[in-house]
Amino acid sequence: MPKILKEILIGFVPVLLIFLAFIGVNIIPVLLAGGLMAGLLIFAKMRGGIAVGASSDRKRKKGGPSMLTFDEIGGQDHPKEELMEALNFLIRHEEIQKYGIRPLKGILLTGPPGTGKTLLARAASHYTDSVFVAASGSEFVEMYVGVGAGRVRDLFRDARTRAQKENKQSAIIFIDEIDVIGGKREGGQQREYDQTLNQLLTEMDGIYNSDSPRILLIAATNRKEMLDSALLRPGRFDRHIQVDLPEKKGRKHILDIHAKNKPIHKDANMDKIAEESYGFSGAQLESVMNEAAIYMMREEKVEIEQRHMSMAIDKVMMGEKTDRESTQEEKKRVAIHELGHAIMAEIVRPESVSQVALTPRGQALGYVRHNPQEEQYLYTKEFLEEQIMIALGGAASEEIYYGGRSTGSSNDFEQALNIVQTMMKSGLTSLGIINIDMVTTEELMKVNNVILEQLMTRTRITLEQHRHIFDQSLEILLTEENLSGEQFRCLFRETSRLPA
Ligand code: ATP
């Protein structure tokens, strides 16, 4: 039964009964029948183990015994190491007691979605031979004060009961999306949230090393900055482990893990796929392998080839090809827009374009694919400005050819704005070294506009100087609907030799 319906019923039934009693209806048989049903329900619940709140399939699946090991998690070497070290405290509890070390009560995993935080928690329960009980922060959110707190109590009780029943020495409780209940308390009308968080803090304070079974709480969030400081203080979540997007070696490892149960062609180069999937999370990489197998089946092949995986990367990055039919005029505008990006990219980063396509995908009517660049963790101001100029290339070329822009640049502008924000936070703008919260929106807007206007002018001037490349490539792109990086570079080189 949906949660909201259940809550309405809980509120409605007593009111109905009082009303019936008030108008003289005998409600005793109804009360007896209700009591009997409630008794039966409680009995059934106890036999099936106490579930946290309403029992859903998702919860039961997540709460099952975990067979997942750390070897089945790709990349993430550092988080795995840190987590294992923390888990050794749980395993070697007698030793740490001897040295007077207090046990770890909570481990907080933070990082972007799909990077394997849930997997790490499940592997932790396997590593420590613990019972695994999982819940998500949103499951504790209720309309009625006290319900969420009750569920937190049930969760801890459930973990202890299950560990005793299964004869385990320890239990790991995993709470995903902890920010939903663990957000900063601001003293507003959030009594229910506060009570839930208070109950969680109380339960954490009640974890002792001498307890049997021993309890370890692992929580995950994408928004650590939202958490209440009471949760983050020592003695609560003692260890914070950052789970980042995987680097190339990690991506290759994850791809290999998800390729294990699939037929891969012997010539397929997984290194190349790992390189092309820069910025992908583990979940996206899993999806790449899955989509590649679907492409293979569609073509009635028996092995996944390199191109199936490349096609899958495009799909995961930009969505499935769509059948959207655009008019000839629209197609020309898209071609000019995409050529603007491609020419600008080839000027500032030679050899970087891998494909220019007019095929509609997801929300885009066309796209430019870039060759993977070497992974970088530090960016100079010049590099970031060039990135903005590549993003503005589409709108600038529409201005050159049509005298104005279209709605097709909104994603490009979003990208450019994000880069400007990074520049501001890193002290690379005329604002100097700032905390963004200390500067007024007007000031930020002013600097933002100056940067983008200047870069837009530079982009337009550069593209004007290369107008002959547009003239040369436009017809070919409109006919073929696709230019490979090599084809595009040939045109680029040929036309660059022509007098401008
Ligand atoms: P969220 O923050 O959205 O809850 P998460 O970080 O908990 O995400 P998981 O649920 O652990 O992510 O991962 C989702 C799926 O992505 C996994 O079931 C798995 O298939 C794949 N995956 C993610 N990271 C890895 C990894 N490091 N190795 C192997 N598979 C991974």
Say how many Å lie between the CA of residue 251 and the centre of ligand 1: 12
Atom 2 (ligand 1) nearest CA: 113
Q: Is the distance from CB of 27 to CB of 21 less than 8 angstroms?
A: yes
How far apart are the two ends of the chain, measured CA to CA in Å?
A: 71
Say how many Å lie between the CA of residue 113 and the centre of ligand 1: 8
Q: Ligand 1: which of 115, 224, 254 to mutate, most ligand atoms within 8 Å of CB? A: 115
Tokens of 231: 């949760």
Handedness of CA 361, 366, 371, 373 (dihedral sign): negative
Atom 9 (ligand 1) nearest CA: 116
Distance between CA atoms of residues 270 and 260, nearest Å: 12
Q: Is the CB of 116 under 6 A from ligand 1?
A: yes
Q: Which atom in ligand 1 lies closest to the alpha carbon of residue 120?
A: 11
Say how many Å lie between the CA of residue 119 and the centre of ligand 1: 6
Q: Is the distance from CB of 226 to CB of 93 less than 8 angstroms?
A: no
* DSSP bridge pairs for 237: 106
Q: Is the distance from CB of 344 to CB of 465 less than 8 angstroms?
A: no
Atom 15 (ligand 1) nearest CA: 283
CATH architecture of the domain with range 252-312: Orthogonal Bundle (1.10)
Q: What angle do CA 296, 297, 303 make, to 5 degrees?
A: 45
Name the class of domain 70-242: alpha beta
Distance between CA atoms of residues 369 and 356, nearest Å: 6
pTM: 0.75
User: Mean pLDDT per 10-residue run, the chain (500 residues)?
Assistant: 62 79 79 78 48 39 65 94 90 82 88 95 94 90 74 92 91 93 68 79 80 89 89 88 94 96 94 90 96 96 94 88 81 95 95 89 85 82 97 96 92 96 95 90 95 97 92 91 90 67
Atom 31 (ligand 1) nearest CA: 282
Atom 3 (ligand 1) nearest CA: 113
Q: Is the CB of 119 under 6 A from ligand 1?
A: yes
Atom 4 (ligand 1) nearest CA: 113
Distance between CA atoms of residues 209 and 199, nearest Å: 20
The per-residue DSSP string of 417-442 comes to HHHHHHHHHTT-STT-S--GGGS-HH
Tokens of 133: 């009980």
Say how many Å lie between the CA of residue 432 and the centre of ligand 1: 39
Q: Is the CB of 180 under 6 A from ligand 1?
A: no
Distance between CA atoms of residues 263 and 416, nearest Å: 41
Q: Is the CB of 76 under 6 A from ligand 1?
A: yes
* Residue in 299, 224, 216 with CA at minimum distance from that of residue 265: 299
Q: Is the CB of 74 under 6 A from ligand 1?
A: yes
Question: Which residues are annotated as catalytic?
Answer: 338
Q: Is the CB of 282 under 6 A from ligand 1?
A: yes
The per-residue DSSP string of 191-211 comes to HHHHHHHHHHHHHHHT--TT-
DSSP label of 133: E
Atom 19 (ligand 1) nearest CA: 283
Say how many Å lie between the CA of residue 114 and the centre of ligand 1: 4
* Residue in 417, 408, 497 with CA at minimum distance from that of residue 456: 417
Taking the domains of the chain in order of start, what are their residue ranges?
Answer: 3-50, 70-242, 252-312, 328-497
Name the class of domain 328-497: mainly alpha
Say how many Å lie between the CA of residue 107 and the centre of ligand 1: 17
Q: Ligand 1: which of 286, 287, 290, 291 to mutate, most ligand atoms within 8 Å of CB? A: 286
Q: Which atom in ligand 1 lies closest to the alpha carbon of residue 257?
A: 29
